[in-house]
Every structure is written in C-alpha cells, then in structure tokens.
Structure 1
Amino acid sequence: MSPAPLEPLLAAGAPPMRTRKGWCTCGCCSKVFLTMILAIVVSMYLALPSLPPTPPGHVAVISPFEIHTVTDFLGAVKSGIMPGNRKTELPLMPEEVVKYLSTSYVEWAPEPYKTQLSSDSVSATLSTAPPLARIMMAASGMSDILRAALDSLSIERNMDMMKKRIWHGMSPIPPARWESMGLSKSENIDAALSQIQLIVGLFEYLHTPRVQGRLRDIYNHIWFEFDILQDVLDALEVSNGRSKPVYNLPALWQEYIQSYLFENMAFQSRSFIFTNLLPLYNATRSEFLNQPGSAFGEAEITPVSQHHFRVLNSILDLYIETEFHVVPHTAGFVYRHEPGNVTGLLSEDESSWKRNNAIYESIQNARREDFQIDYQRKIKETAEMRFANDEHSSFGQKQEAMQPIWDILDRADTHQIAQPQILNPSRVEEEDWVRELSSVDKFGYAIYEMSKGQNEEEWKNFLTRLELGLDSGWEGMIGVENVRQKATLHWINGPDESIFEDDFADAREHFQNMVASQSIPANLSTTTFLVVDSASFLSFSSTPGSSNRGFLNVVLVDFDPASNLIEGYNGAFKIVDQLVWTELYPLVEHFHCASLDAFWALARNHPSELYIGATTEIQRRAWNSLNN
C-alpha cells in the first residue's frame, strides 16, 4: 500500500528562525574553508556537555545528515543533474553566485542585511563567516550543541556504513559481493535475509522520531540559510538596478532533498531488496508447496516444512516492512516558498523540537495502524477468494492443523497482488558516483609492493589474480563498462625505495614526500595508498570463495601515532579485493564520507580482521563459534 501523504509538521524551533525583524544567525563548516571552520567546530565540540556513553558497537551521532550533501547540492544546482541522474526543471544557480558563497556577508551584502547579519548578538567569528560556512555548520549539527547533549543519538557501526552507501545512492551491497558471499544460495538464506533486514532496519532507524526530527531540523536550518542568502542576493541585484534573479535556492534545496535525494535512496534500496528477495521467495515458496501432503499432518508440521514455513514467513515480513519503512519520510520539512504556504508553517517556540517529535510519532503510529488495517483487509479478501475458488485444495482445507499453512499462503498471495514489484522488481540504477567518474581520464591509488621471497613467475601470477579480483567487484553494476577501465594502480617497489616488509611508517613517509613534490600521477588519491605485504600476497594464492578472498592493506597518509586516540588502530586496515573500487574509493575518495578508522573498526569483527562490507549478527555469531 502506498503511504498516504502526511501533513507537514510545524518546523522545529531549534534551528535559527527568520522573523519579520530579521535573522538569528549561526555558523557552519566547509571543506572550502577547512582551516577557518575547523577551529569553530573544534571549539564548539569541546563546549559540548558530557554525552552519555554509546552502546558497544555503536558510534555517537551529532548529525545524522551527511554533511557533504551540501557541496553535492551546490554542484547539482549548477549542472541541473539531481540524484538518480534526474534533471531539474527549476532555474539553475549561475556560476557567478559561487563567489558570494565563499565571501562574508559583511563584504558584499547591501543594507539593511549587512547590519542585520553582523549584529552584536552574533559572535565575532560567526558574524563574519561566509554563507557556505554557515550552511555547513548547520549540516554538521554543531550549531545546536545543547540539542546534541540533551538528545544524544548513536547508530550501530555496520548500519552507519550501510547508511553512507544508501544516502549517496549506492546499491546497499555491491552485486558481486552478494554473489561472492553466496547470499543467493538457499543454504545461506538466513544470512541473506539478515543483510536485507539490516537495510530495512536502517530506514526504520532514520524514521524514528528522534532521528527523523534531527534530520528535519537540520534540513530546515539549511533551508533558512539558503532563504537568507536568496534574499540578500535578490537585494543585491535590485540595488544594482537589475531585476530579481529567477533562480530560487530554497526551492532548489527542497527539490534536491525531498524529490530526488530521499526518493533515490528509497528507490535504489527497494530495487535491491525486491531483486534479491525474488529468487529466495520463489525457491522457498516452491519448496514449501512441493512438500508431500503427508508433511502437513493434523498433529504437527515436519522439520523440513517448518524450516520453509519460517523462511517464507520471514520473507513476507521483510516485504511488508520494506513497504512501510523504505519510503521517504519528510513530515515537517518546510516548503514555505510554495504558493499558498507562505506563512504559518514555522514555530517560534525554542523547545518545539520535542513537541514536533511527538507530533511526528503520533502521525507514524496512525500511519502504521492504517497500514496494518489495510493489510489485514487485503488478506481477508484473498482468503475469501481462495475459499470461493477452492485453491490449494490438495492440503486438506478442512483440517484445523492446516490453518497456519493457509494463513501464510494467503499472506503470500496478498503480497503478490498488493506489491507487484515482488514478481517484477525495478532494476537498481546507475550509481551517481559511477556516472560522475565517467568524465575523468583515470582514478585510483598508488600501491606499494612490500612482500618478499617471490620469483618473477610467482609475482606475475599474483598480478593476474589481483587484477581479476579487483575487476570482479564491478560485476552486476549498471553503467560501469567505461569506468572500470579507468581504475588505476600506480605501483611503487618498496625495496627499491628502501621500504621493507611491514614498514608502513616508512611507506607513509615516502608517500608524503611524493605528495609534497607533486610526483603522484594525476587523479590518484593523495590521502590513501595501498600495500601488498606477504600476507596479502598469500591471500591471493587460493581460489576465491565465499569465505576466502584476496585482500590489500589500506594506509592513511596523514596518520600520526602520537595524536592517535583509538586503541589498537595504526592508520591501516585490510580490505577484500572486490570492495576496493566499489566501496573504499567512492566512500573515502569520491564522497569523503567515511574514515579509514571506521573501516578498521568493522574489520575487527572478522576472524582475520578483514573488512568484507557490512556484516550482521548471524555472520558474527558464526565467526565467534569458529574462534571458540
């Protein structure tokens, strides 16, 4: 059932509010102004009251909003290409506006805006911050440190990494990894369903009142900053004798987030879920129906049938949870620029975020109740149709013990009628980062050869297996035919540079010198490099399988042991070959949304401390049983 449109909430009062008297302002952070903003963020972070400790395996969340979304948005409103490769029909932001984003209002805003935006009520640092810096601080969540302390959030590490992929329009799991881990096979169906449950669980997490409320308020805060910027830009044009611009930054921001970003997140995830559930659903339902009639006796169901019953029930649960959770939830996201919505949507109560969260929760509860009522009604209609048509009569319709069987078959039939995408799933589309890389000549990493004891033939065989392993990560992805040819490794012989086995520190120093002397080939990462040591070399010696694949070492260039506060972390981790191009590169180098220590923390769950992608409790229990 498609969710009914939700009425907008009153926007939270925690973000700054534009009033008829002027603006309450705040600051922000940007990679464009990293040096200046870093000092602001650090000082505000240090001002945070003590936060409650995060649960084991979780990370604290100051902002659930991915901060680089802002810079992605600014690129989109110049090109017109929105998430999901959609093109906006709204007027675009001209290139000449960019200079104002990086310049303080004090330097270019006409009166009365210059005075209002540099008033004594604003701190000296923030009053001179450029518009982009103010916006980025809003996105970081650091503009409301009291809210961060009073309403602290956390997220499970695996879910956080999954969130970064999904937020940026990536397939939740690369198709090659799904196949390599054997998740399409019936013997691994529990592990497969647990991975899909992780995806659904992420959307459920994002739609909880506290998390959705934080996303809502950060979005609204950024909307206000763009609204301020638009007013000042309009006034600037008028003061220079020109007409107001036709572009509208708040409108573009609303469309980017609500109509494209969140829609693309849901579309890609739903497509992945329905595509990968379909063969599991078909196989399980077929095996369930093919059980001999004697298997469904009056007393009890056989163990084999119980297994199929449990699995089919789990799949149907995932279908219904996907339908409810894996959709955009933007209740309370402001859209004041639209006709007929120019007033009345914004609360001026500074504590209104709590009240708005409660309103949102009541809306969600009502939506869930309506959803369940509609679902049960459809099941009842399906059962009545079955009785009328005498379907599945081979099971013995009058046996009371058969009722659970009838119930689950009615559920399955209902799903197929109500959710046509079950049998005809949409295809996961080309990922945005893949399309964006199509315009570059090459991309990739420098890689150090630091293993020892191999002859020329052994090394040649290793290179062949490495190339095949890395390239296999692209299999099943859409639109990668051109891009996969541009993935590049620039080899550096460690011994030739007096860098030997396991000496990552010397390799790091050597690479830093290469960066300083600008001797790194163009378009290769200057923040991360790869290493082949003896263990990595040996990992490629066996035939790849679901539990064994070759790996490479990933090393952070600017890691400083003296300032490191993460116990056990040495600025490096091991990653399975198939994820170098399809997870490491997009998340670290392209989107700049994941740190190497986050990968390392997840790799520690693996018996070999190897990063293999997001994992679930079922997989980790299996590893623990091996260790014990």
Structure 2
Amino acid sequence: MKYLTGDHGTWDHDKLNKLIYNDCLLPPETWAGFADYAAGGMRPDGGKPSFPLMTAEEIKLTEIPYNIWAPEPYNTLGYSCMEKVMPIYLHDDTGSADSPWAWTPARLHVLRAKMWHGMVPISRERWLDKKLDDPKNYRMFFEIVQDILAIFVWLNQEVTLGRMRQGFNKIVGAHVEFERAANLRREQMGEKEKLNLAGMWAEYYQSIISTMCNRTYQWLVDRVDEVQTRAFMEYTVALEKAGDDPEAIGLAGQAFIECVQDLNIIITRADQVLAVPMIGFEGYKASNSLFDQSLAVRENMWAKMAETKDWSYLTKVFDARDNDSPENLKPMKIQDYVDEMKNGPKPAPPRFRDFEAFIGFHHEGKRNRAEIRKAFCGETKPLGEEYWITVLKERNEFYLKNGKERETWNHKWGFVCYRLTYDQSDEEWANFKNKFEADVFRSGKWIEGYDTIADKAGMEYIDGRDVGIPKDDIEAAKKHFKSTYTVLPTLGRLWTSDFLVIDRQCYDSHIKPLHKDIRPPLPYEPCFGDLGGYVRLIDTMTDKYAPDFIETIAPGYTGNMRVLSSLLLEEMYPLLATQALRPTGLWPLARLHPSEVYVGHTVPAQEGWWEWNRISKAASLGSFFEHLRGRQVEMPGKQE
C-alpha cells in the first residue's frame, strides 16, 4: 500500500511546510575548504590567494595546542586554533544573538546548499525534462524563483546577517591569534613573509558570497529572458492564426501578458535581492558598490533608477486593468478551473485584445530593465567553473603529478552501484543499463566546467550474486560495501559514505514506468520530468544518527531512499562529496512524491498536486479493500 500511495498517514504538505532546520550560516565545510585555499588552492570565483600562503606544516599546527609549538607569549595557551573554532559549529544555540545558527525551512535546505556551493539551481537537461522552457509552465518556474528570492531575503535580514557576521568575526579572532603566533615563529626561523589569515579568510568568504549571488542571478536573468522570448514568439504566431477573431486574440493576449508580467515582477525583485552585504565582517574591505548596501537601500536605488525610464506601455496596460470590471478581476476558484476543463476557457476580458500595447509592453520592459540592470549591477562578467569541479580537478591533478596517466588511469568520481535483482537475463540487464546510463551520464550543460570532468565520471557495478549477496538483501550489501570501500569519503573519488542499489522496483522504473506526465488543473502545476527512473540511495551512517535527531530533521528516515537517476552525478554527488548535506536533508522533499523519490527542489504547486493524488488514491484503494472484505464475508464457508 505504501509503495503505491506513499506514507500519507504520517506525512503531508502541511508537515513539510512546518519542518524547520537549525542551519549553520557558516557551514563547517566552508571553513574546512579554507585550509586548501590558504595553502594555495583556488577560491570559488577562480582566483588565487593574494596573501602569503600557509605551509603544510602550519596547517597541521592549527590542530596542535599553542603551548607545544608557539613562541612567547602564546606558549602558555593550552588549546589549538581548531579548538577555538570548533565550538562555533558544535553549539547550535539559536537563542544566542551571536550564534551563527538560525532556523530555516527544511524544504529550502537543499536549494540553499546548492547556491551556497556555487551550483546552478537547475541544469539545462533537467530544465527541459521539467518543460520549464514552455511559457505554459511559467508558474512552476515562478514558484522556484520565489523560493530562491525567499532565501536571499532571509540572508539579508539583519538578524540573519548579524548572526553570520558574529560567527565570521569569531573565526577571524581565532585566525588572528594563530597568525600572530605563526608569524613570531616565522621570525625566529628567519622568514620575512607574514601571514594575514584574517584578510585571506575575508577574501575566501567574500568569494563564496559573490559566486553564489552572481551565478544564481545570471541563471535567473537568462531563464526569464528565455521564457519571455519564447512567450513573445508564440504570441505573435497566435495573433497570426487568430486573424480578426477577437476571442482568440484575447486568449492569446491573456496568456502572454500574465506570463511576461509575472516574470517581470520576479526579475525586478532579483535585481534588488540577490546580494549579501559584508559590511562589518572583519578583514573585508567595503566598496562603493550597491551590493555592499542594505536591502532597503538597494530597493530605494532601483526605484529611483526606474523613475528615469519611460513606462508608457506599462501605464497603458495597468490603467486598462484598473478600469476593468471588478467581476473580471476576481481570482478564480477551484470550481472555475474545473468548469474550464469541462467547457473550455471563458472569453478573455476585452483589455487582453490590445496587442499593440502588449507588444510595446514587452519591448519597453525588456529594454528598461536591461538598462537599469547594467547601471545597477555593472557589466556581466563571465562565470568560472563551479567550485566543486575546481576542487575535484585540483585533487585529480595531484594524482596526475604523482605518476598517473590520464589516458590509462581508471580513477573515477561517482558511485558504487549494487545489483540486487536477479530475475533478468543478460540481454535484459544490458538493456536496463543502457537506459539507466542514458539518464545518469548527461551533458551537464549550464554546469560550468562539467565537460572537463565528465570523462572520469563513472558507476562501479557490483553484481550481488558475485559476492554472495541474496536478492534484495540491502543489509548484506551494506556490510560488503563498508568492508570493501574503506578509503575516506572525498570529492574526486567514488563516494564511500553512501552507495546505490538497483532492486526490482528500480529496474521497472526505467524499463516500464507506471506513470505518465499529465497537466493537472490549476492551481496545481505539472510535474513533468519527475516520474522517471530512480535508484535507491543507501546511507551507511545511520548507526551514528540519534533517534531524536532523525525525528527532528527527517521524520520517517531509515537510511534507504529513492533518488531520480538523472540527478546522481549533476546534483547528488557534488552535494554529498562536498559535505554540503547528508541524505537526511533530501528525505523530507522526497516523501510527498508518488513513489517517495527525491527529484530535486519542489514547489508548493507540485507538492499539493502529489498530496491530492495520494490521498485520492489511498481513499479509492481503501474503498476497494473494504469492498473485498465485504465480499469475503458474503462468500460461502467464510462466515464464522
């Protein structure tokens, strides 16, 4: 029953919306990555440190108490730099004003992690899978952008910024103490260069912030332009087909203007919101840029710039709306949508027939916003490769410099995948692998730098029969995996904290999927691309999770969940291998899916549709089973 309908008895849309995480505004992996940067690695925006580098020995000294290695007066300190920093991460006290921990919605956790690590929100192929390039689906895109903007508004709130700033400055304090001790040691050793860890930390952190803002912003600008351009092209085609038919002209105009107007609203908001000022962050050198100003200042400046532009067509369109009949301005109810599905759409109000105003509105808005954006944000700069790709390549280069040849080296990044379904012939299994790998090995378009590492992406298959694992025995597979793949989990290798399993359900999801994508009635939105083939992701660290921890952040999580196959290399691997999150963070988003599959970030319109369907299916199945029980009672010989 749960396989067909999900665990709707213990989880629903309301519970997802109410689930919150105690999130660290200075993720631990950020500070851990700083060590690589301080030793000469790249930062997220592609630059190198502009300060003297730490030596490998000095990096090790950060973990050793000062009284073991430091000159006077630091030789009396019985703790290390690491011990000074770690309490920031170990004490998740949201009640303290200077704590870098804050409550955030669980449903936004994965999206925030992706953006923080400089990842594009959605890749090109995933965008097309979900048909988000189609203006008819713009509301789904609109809700995705709303969630992105909500994250940035939260980051701009003073209480959030204050906590982030306090945590950042605490780390600066630990760095300053270490650099002073290390510089005295350097003097004793006759070295002239001095460390400036505070400056280097600010440089590195600012790079994280700017990369997150710039990549997300450019993606939004490009996607809005893509959808609006297609909407305009489809509108002009619809006008040609409509001829002199006023109703056809009105329906085409309504579809066009609603899409363009709504996307104008969110891209205007993105102009203002997608920045995180670092004023007061010690070591950071403030500029005159608007992005170093508060959100309120940025909003005011955008409004002043907008006042200098000619908005004649916008005024005409809005005046027509304001003068329309109140009856035409009423929001539609569920029954209205149902009636439209049965009888077709109602004629659009006359104001939607003014195609000259709408065409002018489109060009005017596009031109004005581009000019404001250029003045507001400056010239668009090319974006470098995503940071996880940079780090992966740096680690691969280390191996290559130590005698490995790229052409013959079998080193892969990716996952270990266990086959635990044995009913298929060799031909059937080969057919499955072709379909599965077509989903997994994608172009990575829009993921900057992906093409430079794609040739080393891989799956290492283990046939359970070859190692004595019974059919569907995940615990036996886990035992084999943990005893076989013993290297530390790290970016650039096969991931060794979690592995994949193909069972019969996973096999069938690729070979004979049960569901078809459909367009539901408004206000729900279609879930195109979310019903594809999946695999099981097995978490090997479940024995380390306290029961109350799981109940708090991932109710119902068992360490065994389904993940859309097309997300494995583009999204799963970088999120897990950078330590951005654990599978527990994915689980809440998977639970409303019809088959409880993680399909990436979801929005309220599709979550609501899934819940509606699941409740409906559960109710119908419940009635069916009740009917069978009644028939059983009526059958001869079955009555007590």
Q: With structure 2 as the length reference, what TM-score do the two structures score? A: 0.73
Answering whether residue 359 of structure 2 is matched by residue 433 of structure 1, we say no
Task: Return the offset for 1:416.
Answer: 3.1
Q: Distance in 2 between matches of 1:325 and 1:517?
A: 42
Q: Distance in 1 between matches of 2:556 and 2:472?
A: 16
Answering whether residue 270 of structure 2 is matched by residue 322 of structure 1, we say yes
Decide whether the 8 Å contact of 1:266 with 1:326 is kept in 2.
Answer: yes
- Taking the TM superposition and a 5 Å limit, the aligned residue runs for 1:465-544 are 465-472=435-442, 474-515=444-485, 523-542=493-512
Answering whether residue 585 of structure 2 is matched by residue 598 of structure 1, we say yes
Mean Cα deviation higher: 260-269 or 141-150: 141-150
Residues 564, 499 of structure 1: alpha-carbon distance in 2 compared, 3 angstrom cutoff: farther
- Could you say which residue in structure 1 is the equivalent of 2:129? 180
Mean Cα deviation higher: 425-434 or 106-115: 425-434
Answering whether residue 540 of structure 2 is matched by residue 557 of structure 1, we say yes
Quote the sequence identity (%).
21
Give the number of the structure whose residues are more often helix, by fraction: 2
Q: Distance in 1 between matches of 2:189 and 2:486?
A: 48
Residues 366, 224 of structure 1: alpha-carbon distance in 2 compared, 3 angstrom cutoff: same
Task: Return the offset for 1:247.
Answer: 3.0
Decide whether the 8 Å contact of 1:270 with 1:322 is kept in 2.
Answer: yes
Answering whether residue 50 of structure 2 is matched by residue 96 of structure 1, we say no
| SS in structure 2 of the partner of residue 267 of structure 1 | helix
Residues 556, 383 of structure 1: alpha-carbon distance in 2 compared, 3 angstrom cutoff: closer
- Could you say which residue in structure 1 is the equivalent of 2:418? 448
Residues 247, 563 of structure 1: alpha-carbon distance in 2 compared, 3 angstrom cutoff: closer
Task: Return the offset for 1:241.
Answer: 6.1
Q: Distance in 1 between matches of 2:244 and 2:141?
A: 27
Please, which of 215, 226, 234 is the counterpart of residue 268 of structure 1? 215
Q: Distance in 1 between matches of 2:20 and 2:244?
A: 47
Q: Distance in 2 between matches of 1:414 and 1:112?
A: 61
Aligned partner letter, 1:586: P
| SS in structure 2 of the partner of residue 155 of structure 1 | strand
Aligned partner letter, 1:94: T
Residues 402, 282 of structure 1: alpha-carbon distance in 2 compared, 3 angstrom cutoff: closer
* Unmatched segments (≥5 aa) in structure 1: 1-53, 119-127, 341-359, 387-395
Residues 55, 596 of structure 1: alpha-carbon distance in 2 compared, 3 angstrom cutoff: closer
Task: Return the offset for 1:147.
Answer: 0.7
Q: With structure 1 as the length reference, what TM-score do the two structures score? A: 0.74
Please, which of 560, 564, 580 is the counterpart of residue 576 of structure 1? 564
Task: Return the offset for 1:476.
Answer: 4.6
- Could you say which residue in structure 1 is the equivalent of 2:250? 302
Q: Distance in 1 between matches of 2:147 and 2:599?
A: 15
Task: Return the offset for 1:249.
Answer: 0.8
Q: Distance in 1 between matches of 2:296 and 2:244?
A: 38
Decide whether the 8 Å contact of 1:297 with 1:401 is kept in 2.
Answer: no
Answering whether residue 43 of structure 2 is matched by residue 82 of structure 1, we say yes
Task: Return the offset for 1:617.
Answer: 0.9
Aligned partner letter, 1:183: L
| SS in structure 1 of the partner of residue 96 of structure 2 | helix
Residues 513, 414 of structure 1: alpha-carbon distance in 2 compared, 3 angstrom cutoff: same
Residues 155, 503 of structure 1: alpha-carbon distance in 2 compared, 3 angstrom cutoff: same
- Taking the TM superposition and a 5 Å limit, the aligned residue runs for 1:213-292 are 213-238=162-187, 240=188, 242=190, 245-258=193-206, 260-287=207-234
- Could you say which residue in structure 1 is the equivalent of 2:340? none
Q: Distance in 1 between matches of 2:244 and 2:104?
A: 43
Q: Over aligned residue pairs, what C-alpha RMSD do you find? A: 4.0
| SS in structure 1 of the partner of residue 459 of structure 2 | strand
Mean Cα deviation higher: 435-444 or 566-575: 435-444
- Taking the TM superposition and a 5 Å limit, the aligned residue runs for 1:158-169 are 158-169=107-118
Decide whether the 8 Å contact of 1:604 with 1:610 is kept in 2.
Answer: yes
Decide whether the 8 Å contact of 1:602 with 1:611 is kept in 2.
Answer: yes
Residues 437, 311 of structure 1: alpha-carbon distance in 2 compared, 3 angstrom cutoff: same
> Deviation string for 1:541-578 (max 9, x for gaps)?
14897243211111011323995443422111111111
- Could you say which residue in structure 1 is the equivalent of 2:596? 609
Residues 539, 144 of structure 1: alpha-carbon distance in 2 compared, 3 angstrom cutoff: closer
Decide whether the 8 Å contact of 1:83 with 1:261 is kept in 2.
Answer: yes
Aligned partner letter, 1:572: N
Residues 172, 75 of structure 1: alpha-carbon distance in 2 compared, 3 angstrom cutoff: same
Decide whether the 8 Å contact of 2:39 with 2:53 is kept in 1.
Answer: yes
- Could you say which residue in structure 2 is the equivalent of 1:68? 29
Residues 434, 241 of structure 1: alpha-carbon distance in 2 compared, 3 angstrom cutoff: closer
> Deviation string for 1:243-278 (max 9, x for gaps)?
5533311111111112x2111111111121122221
Decide whether the 8 Å contact of 2:506 with 2:534 is kept in 1.
Answer: yes
Q: Distance in 1 between matches of 2:607 and 2:483?
A: 40
- Could you say which residue in structure 1 is the equivalent of 2:103? 154
Task: Return the offset for 1:312.
Answer: 1.0
- Could you say which residue in structure 2 is the equivalent of 1:546? 529
Aligned partner letter, 1:323: D
Q: Distance in 2 between matches of 1:361 and 1:234?
A: 32
Q: Distance in 2 between matches of 1:503 and 1:493?
A: 12
Please, which of 369, 385, 396 is the counterpart of residue 415 of structure 1? 369
Aligned partner letter, 2:534: F
Residues 143, 534 of structure 1: alpha-carbon distance in 2 compared, 3 angstrom cutoff: closer
Answering whether residue 90 of structure 2 is matched by residue 135 of structure 1, we say no
Residues 464, 252 of structure 1: alpha-carbon distance in 2 compared, 3 angstrom cutoff: same
- Could you say which residue in structure 1 is the equivalent of 2:431? 461
Decide whether the 8 Å contact of 1:272 with 1:427 is kept in 2.
Answer: no
Equivalent residues, number: 527
Task: Return the offset for 1:217.
Answer: 1.3
Answering whether residue 156 of structure 2 is matched by residue 210 of structure 1, we say no
* Unmatched segments (≥5 aa) in structure 2: 1-14, 318-349, 397-410, 517-527, 617-640
Residues 378, 93 of structure 1: alpha-carbon distance in 2 compared, 3 angstrom cutoff: farther
| SS in structure 1 of the partner of residue 508 of structure 2 | helix
| SS in structure 2 of the partner of residue 147 of structure 1 | coil
| SS in structure 2 of the partner of residue 502 of structure 1 | coil
| SS in structure 2 of the partner of residue 68 of structure 1 | helix
Aligned partner letter, 1:622: W
